Amino acid sequence: MKRKFITFSRIIQAGMVNFARNAWLAAAAMAVMIITLTIVLFSIITNATFANTIAQITDKIDVSVYLKDTTSEADGERLADDLRELPNVKGVTYLSKEEALDRYREQNANNPALLSAINETDNPIPATIQVKPRELNKLQDIKDFLNRTAPKKLWEDVSYRDDRKSAIDKIAHATNILQRAGIVAVLVFTLISMLIIFNTIQMAIFNRRDELTIMRLLGASTWYIRGPFVVETIIYGVLSAFISVLLIHSLFVASSSALQASSLGLLDIGYAASYFRGHFWQLLGMQVVLGILIGAASSIIATKRYLKFKTAK
């Protein structure tokens, strides 16, 4: 037990000494790691921000089903209930003719011409079922359902058609691409930078391969040899994680003072900054864990080759 502890503390110590001695290598490996982790962090924040923007857009869009005046309120309510059961439906509001009229008046409060046009006749606004979708690109499902199950006589028209339909479809298409691109970008960047880090560490270990071979010949166990490298790269990972978080932090500080606008194109910087601050500890923790994982994995794989025993006869 005591010997195990001595060995363990020696491994940690050797890793820290290596870290201090190999300043240049440390700088090179950490530079790559910092870039990776910063890109990953940035992509995650960007993704969250886009998701938020998309949610805001989706929230503003609903589909109105205009019922026939001949449809009874009970039938209308039943249709509303059926719609509520659909998987892509987030919420359904049933507006009777009167409620629909009230809403029309509210919406057009500062348009007296439209208001007076209504006042002159009796209520021309049909009872309406407002459907809030979960996903914009599946609106057709709702319309198909109406066409298929609800008897035509219950409803007159659906707002999801013509110009409005094509506008919604365009937005749905764009948000869809945005979401996918975000995920792909995170994955691609992580992969590329892991390859670079792995390569950097492998080069470092290649420089010290004689040392590894000698240790092996003297009877050092696998982890006694590998341990210090793993400790060293874990230190890179942890430091890089902190630096990447610091970088993103200063990026937000700089952008908030330098940029007057709160958004860059589709990227809502205000939301991104508040997301970063709101999830600061989770993001920092995630970066540290990621740094440790990338560091440990690359040094374990990179040392593997030099620790193999001859197996050929």
Partner 1 sequence: MILLDRVTKTYSKVATPALDRVSIHVEPKEFVIVVGQSGAGKTTLLRLLTREEKPSSGKIIVGGIDYDKLRDKDIPLLRRKIGVVFQDFKLLPNRTVFENIAFALEIVGATNHEIRATVPKVLDIVNLKGKEKRMPMELSGGERQRVAIARAIVRQPKILIADEPTGNLDPKHAWDIIRVLEKINHYGTTVLLTTHNQEIVNKLKRRVITMQHGQVASDRDKAEYNL
16 binds partner 1 (CB under 8 A): no
Is the four-CA dihedral 240, 245, 250, 256 of positive or negative sign?
positive
Q: Which residues pair with 267 in a beta bridge?
A: 264
In 44-175 the beta strands, taken as DSSP E runs, fall at 63-67, 89-95, 128-133, 155-158
Short-list 228, 176, 166, CA closest to 54: 176
Residues 6+ apart with CB under 8 A from 64: 128, 129, 130, 131, 158, 159
β-pairing verdict for 267-268 and 63-67: unpaired
Q: Which of 4, 60, 148, 152 binds partner 1 (CB under 8 A)?
A: 4
CA dist., res. 228 & res. 210, Å (int) = 15
Cβ distance 229 to 205 under 8 Å? yes
Instruction: Select from 2-10, 57-65, 138-146, 283-291 the region that touches partner 1 (CB under 8 A).
Output: 2-10
Give 103 or 216: the residue with its C-beta nearer to partner 1.
216
Q: Give the shortest CB-22-to-partner 1 separation in angstroms.
A: 10
Give 35 or 307: the residue with its C-beta nearer to partner 1.
307
Give 7 or 256: the residue with its C-beta nearer to partner 1.
7
Q: Give the shortest CB-29-to-partner 1 separation in angstroms.
A: 18
21 binds partner 1 (CB under 8 A): yes
Q: Give the shortest CB-217-to-partner 1 separation in angstroms.
A: 6
258 binds partner 1 (CB under 8 A): no
Give 17 or 253: the residue with its C-beta nearer to partner 1.
17
Q: Which of 107, 119, 221, 262 binds partner 1 (CB under 8 A)?
A: 221
Task: Please list the helix, strand and coil fractions of the chain in percent, rounded to the nearest 5, in that order.
Answer: 75, 10, 15
CA dist., res. 174 & res. 170, Å (int) = 6
Question: In the Cβ-directed half-sphere of 159, how many Cα atoms lie within 13 Å?
Answer: 14
162 binds partner 1 (CB under 8 A): no
311 binds partner 1 (CB under 8 A): yes
Q: Which of 26, 34, 215, 234 binds partner 1 (CB under 8 A)?
A: 215
Q: Give the shortest CB-227-to-partner 1 separation in angstroms.
A: 12
Q: Which of 224, 255, 270, 279 binds partner 1 (CB under 8 A)?
A: 224
Q: Which of 20, 181, 214, 253 binds partner 1 (CB under 8 A)?
A: 214
Cβ distance 118 to 130 under 8 Å? no
CA dist., res. 110 & res. 49, Å (int) = 34
Instruction: Select from 135-143, 171-179, 187-195, 214-222 the region that touches partner 1 (CB under 8 A).
Output: 214-222
305 binds partner 1 (CB under 8 A): no
Q: Give the shortest CB-8-to-partner 1 separation in angstroms.
A: 10
74 binds partner 1 (CB under 8 A): no
**In Å, what is the CA distance from 83 to each residue of 4, 100, 140?**
66, 18, 13
Interaction site with partner 1 (CB under 8 A) = 2-4, 6-7, 10, 21, 210-211, 213-222, 224, 309-313
